[in-house]
Structure 1
């Protein structure tokens, strides 16, 4: 692959530092969520997405996109959340091929109980360790990376379709 633009030593250092920070941060949040709320971070993210949706409900395809999840991973997670009474799933009234996930009152209560610990962990390990200028830069960097992936995200959304 002669046309590969290999990373320079400095780019390699930045890339590895970024990945280490993101991985450690994500693992810390998952451990905190498991310890304090008995659920993985991925389940918390599903509950958050549903809580912010109109009527606390979303099509499964939209929920998968919002949670950056594959169909199978989301279906498995929602099935577990259903079993715990935190989410209900039903057929979509306008399109029987689609399915709707809805946050239950019990699910909202679980989210409400889990949120303070999660926010505290995020604040302590992200916002409190960065200066206001670094936070602005992080926001700009995040927007740039997200913008660079929009085409790929749109392709994934189209592939997901409804389920």
Structure 2
């Protein structure tokens, strides 16, 4: 990669708050969420992803891609959720080396119970500070940035 020019004032004014948000927002959301619900933000993201998946089932590698967690991190989160009865791990019938994560009834109930607290935190931390116009204009910009960062998800799901 060749040498690139330093950030100009406009780029720096965009980048510095963005990196602060990326660092501080998850911590701010989790500080009260974990004691209130017993879920980390990663736990919550996994439960949401499984709740939205067909049959509440995703291959572990697809779950990692969906939640933007590494394979080692998703394995630890799924193992913890499994120990707590919120998720089940099942061998993939088509590939015995792979595993699927399946949302349990208890996991769905925990997700539904945690949703109001999560929604309140997200509104207080983010949306209460933005106008409808801010949201309308920033949404597509953030979506483009997220899409540029996303890896291609696996296509060989069970």
TM, length-normalised to structure 1: 0.87
Unaligned runs of 5+ in 1: none
2:76 corresponding residue in structure 1: 76
Uncovered stretches (5+) of structure 2, i.e. residues with no partner:
none
In structure 2, C-alpha distance between the alignment counterparts of 1:120 and 1:25, rounded to whole Å? 14
Aligned counterparts of 2:100 and 2:114: Cα–Cα separation in 1 = 23
Question: CA–CA distance in 2 between the matches of 1:59 and 1:85?
Answer: 18
Q: CA deviation at 1:10?
A: 3.4
Indicate the larger mover: 55-64 or 18-27: 18-27
- Tell whether the 8 Å contact from 1:32 to 1:118 is kept in structure 2 after alignment: no
Give the deviation of 1:2 after TM superposition.
6.6
Q: SS of 2:47's equivalent?
A: helix
CA-based RMSD = 2.1
- In the other structure, the counterpart of 1:49 is 49
**How many Å apart are 1:98 and its aligned residue?**
1.7
Write out the 4+ residue segments of structure 1 that deviate beyond 6 Å after TM superposition: none
User: Which residue in the other structure is 1:27 paired with?
Assistant: 27
- On the 8 A contact 1:32/1:117 being kept in 2, the answer is no
Deviation at 1:13, TM superposition (A): 2.8
Q: Secondary structure at the match of 2:101?
A: strand
The count of residues paired between Structure 1 and Structure 2 equals: 158
CA distance in 1, matches of 2:41, 2:5: 35
1:142 aligns with 2:151: no
1:9 Cα deviation from its structure 2 partner = 3.2
Tell me the equivalent position of 2:88: 88
- Distance in 2, matches of 1:2 and 1:61, equals 34
